[in-house]
Structure 1
């Protein structure tokens, strides 16, 4: 045997060589500035495994789509799927076979990455619960048809004037959990499935309006023109042209959303992009972008107050961009309730998806707010200014929520960097006053955080006074 014989190519590399060549051709063909429409992906492990976040990334009652399908604890929700699907079919006078064929014409599996329907034993057992499909595509189409009809019926009957116990045959506490399940990032179904199942545009828009109103959002983004379905063999690949690192995609709001969570994000970011950014100086646009993940250490509301900075609420709704001018920090109105953490943490996970080109607007806003809020007193100031509408039990719960989110790290964005620099410049002229307030807060947190610390402080003070009196009379006896 020739000692210089070339080593064999590893089997794993040989099997993937064709795929790697295709990727190389796309890169060399100038497609580096193009990205596929975001797929429905699993929550990143570095977020999902955090103990304090885990509950917000797990559906509680119903699974939608393919990722959580095999979880036994969610099979109890299938009876609601069957019930609401039957209601939807009856209300729209449609047949299961027709809708299944309509969904089956398209390949939806590419929407879901890293899911294998044949190797997982739990999934095989789940497939048997849904019937005995002839192929994976039949199964996927059946699941999405059932889930889509279920979601449409749920949203249509989620109007504030509808009694859920009467119309959906579900108690209000379970209904709240179902709506939270609709927010989980990897518990989504493609929006185009909803389009195929609901050809009545007015009905679909009403469902979407109800979805946003459930979460306190009054404005609704317009739906764009229907694009080719991702995975449809005869259609061209859907691409989004990225206009540059420092510029939001102008096409982001065009076309249908990817899924309901994406639609909710569009609603939160509804704005005139040019108006929002017109006050940003040209000079910061040429600033070198930091490649570090960081927090925005701006200062708490109490520290801002000590520096003479006032906070006011923005007049427009559903905008997550603050502004700072002439010592006034303007912030959007934010309602904090039991669903807030589900919304924001799943939107953060969505913005972290590798194939979603965005400027981390939601993530940056949360990092910004977590810097402003440290103690319940900070929440109280924002609440008194009409910026925070607190629907939790106390201001402390709101502070604890934002302190949890303080662990979020994002690349620095130009707008928040500019506001931070403006506030820090303002701080420089008020540094002494801020230090005095910091010492006062530290003393307050040390000696007045509970009744026991107050008693201990009182006892220590009383002991010092008695010691002083005893020493005085020792030095100056009464007879003298």
Structure 2
């Protein structure tokens, strides 16, 4: 009968209401997210998947046991042995493992439940113990140039370094701290991590520049990092809350989000010059974006906002080429076409912080809207792009000048014009 609810319908509705209340009572985001796979928005894109998959070695439980990483397991066992024999000579290996085993419940809570579900506590503790030793020993060898001494090939070293900064390959930093605490080389390991992060920072941003913040990381005021990818992201962005602002931030704007230019080519035509500030595109940035997009991570989308800002200037391969020539962008991915396609595709899934780079965007738009400047710049851009078009344009301008001069003398020649003036107009 219309207007009445059956018992089944009532129970169904009560279930929905109860589930909604439980969801409201649970925190949706936190400063420290749980370790988890890349969000499906990025993972399901076939063009992005290769940037999130390990190339040589799996770390942690997400990719553990896959056949394609069995060769990497041999290197892992070797590095684990080196860690135990070189840095823990006075510590029994059982004590090392027992420390991880004692903390396994707390460590397990830092992963998404689906990630650790296939493993019991003992299996998970073994995975984390081995992989933690591997990461510490690898970083120590990398910073101190010991791979050749250990007969480890350069290609394996390069691929492993890339794998260290994949979101799905991250290990908890507190796990590394636990292992370092029992090592006689704990100071050297901590120093190696700092130098390793600094080196990768400089590889991504030339000269140790930062994306959107100023200042050095303060170990006293900053919370401990979640993992190595988090540590690299914080290094690139600087401490939270120390955002860079220009004096234009005090200017009232009619529509600060309006952007009428389409790509870098239009900005060049309007006379806007690209300044050198090198960023090197690669999997590390894409994995930091994936990290910021974790649903339980409360953050300011610092890396996402920068890549989104860069994407607003890239529409085609020629934009990437110009950014490369200006040493703003260093292409680690392939052809300029591939990079342009990557930016165009990933740009549709990015949700940046709207406050980030607002001042810069406003200044660019203000320059672009300057009609006289744009007209002058466009004239030189289109008529003097090459030496041949430049000569042709100069010839046309000179012909116009001669024609105008001849017309002026023919119409406005004064009565007292001397013979030189008359001969000049006749020759024209």
TM-score clears 0.5: yes
Q: Which is helix-richer, 1 or 2?
A: 2
Shift of 1:400: 5.2
Distance in 2 separating the partners of 1:4 and 1:395: 62
Indicate how the Cα distance of structure 1 residues 278 and 150 shifts in structure 2: closer, same or farther if over 3 A, else same. same
Residue 148 of structure 1 aligns with which residue?
Answer: 132
SS across alignment from 2:224: coil
Q: CA deviation at 1:105?
A: 2.0
Structure 1 residues 102, 9: CA separation in 2 closer, same or farther (over 3 Å shift)?
Answer: farther
Query: Match of 2:130, SS?
Result: helix
The aligned runs of 1:35-434 (5 Å cut-off) are: 35=30, 37-93=32-88, 94-106=91-103, 107=105, 108-115=107-114, 136-159=120-143, 162-167=145-150, 169-199=151-181, 200-214=186-200, 216-217=202-203, 222=217, 224=219, 254-270=222-238, 273-274=241-242, 276-277=244-245, 279=247, 281-282=249-250, 298-313=261-276, 332-334=277-279, 336=280, 340-389=281-330, 399=340, 401-430=342-371
In 2, the alpha carbon distance for the partners of 1:116 and 1:370 equals 33
Shift of 1:424: 2.3
**Structure 1 position 215, deviation (Å):** 5.7
**Structure 1 residues 20 and 170: CA distance shift in structure 2, 3 A:** farther
Asked if structure 2 preserves the Cα contact closer than 8 Å seen for 1:303 and 1:437, the reply is no
Listed as ranges, the gaps of 5+ residues in structure 1 are 128-135, 226-252, 314-331, 445-480
C-alpha contact (below 8 Å) 1:359/1:413 kept by paired residues = no
CA contact (8 A) 1:298 1:420 kept: no
2:60 and 2:128 in contact (8 A); partners too: yes
Deviations 1:279-334 (A, max 9, x none): 352567x99999xxxx9775433322221222223xxxxxxxxxxxxxxxxxx322
CA contact (8 A) 1:155 1:208 kept: no
Separation in 1, partners of 2:79, 2:172:
19
Q: Tell whether the 8 Å contact from 1:89 to 1:96 is kept in structure 2 after alignment.
A: yes
Distance apart, 1:24 and its partner CA: 4.7
Does the aligned pair in 2 maintain the 1:312–1:385 contact within 8 Å?
A: yes
Measured after TM superposition, the shift of residue 410 of structure 1 is 1.3
CA contact (8 A) 1:383 1:389 kept: yes
- Closer, same or farther in 2 for the Cα pair 1:377/1:46, shift >3 Å? closer
Instruction: Check conservation: 2:165, 2:287, Cα contact below 8 A.
Output: yes
For this pair of structures, how many residues does the alignment match?
Answer: 363
What is the Cα-based RMSD across aligned positions, in Å? Answer: 4.0
CA positional deviation for 1:427: 1.9
Structure 2: segments with no counterpart, 5+ residues = 209-214, 387-428
Q: What is the distance in 1 between the residues matched to 2:218 and 2:81?
A: 27
In 2, are the aligned partners of 1:298 and 1:368 still within 8 Å (CA)? no
Does the 8 Å CA contact 2:42/2:290 hold for their aligned counterparts? Answer: yes
1:296 and 1:149 map into 2 onto residues whose CA distance is 50
Structure showing the higher strand proportion among its residues: 1
Deviation at 1:54, TM superposition (A): 0.8
Listed one character per residue, the Cα deviations across residues 403-449 of structure 1 (whole Å, up to 9, x for unaligned) are 45444421452133343233223222336568879999xxx9xxxxx
Aligned to 1:477: none
Q: Distance in 2 between matches of 1:223 and 1:384?
A: 36
Q: TM-score, normalised by structure 1?
A: 0.64
User: Taking structure 1 as reference, are residues 403 and 95 closer, same or farther at Cα in structure 2, changes over 3 Å only?
Assistant: farther
Q: CA deviation at 1:157?
A: 0.3
CA contact (8 A) 1:158 1:214 kept: no
TM-score (ref. length: structure 2): 0.71
Residue by residue over 1:244-295, the C-alpha shift from the partner in whole angstroms, topping out at 9 and shown as x without a partner, is xxxxxxxxx71211001000101111269546125352567x99999xxxx9
Query: Is the contact made by 2:108 and 2:116 (CA closer than 8 Å) also made in structure 1?
Result: no
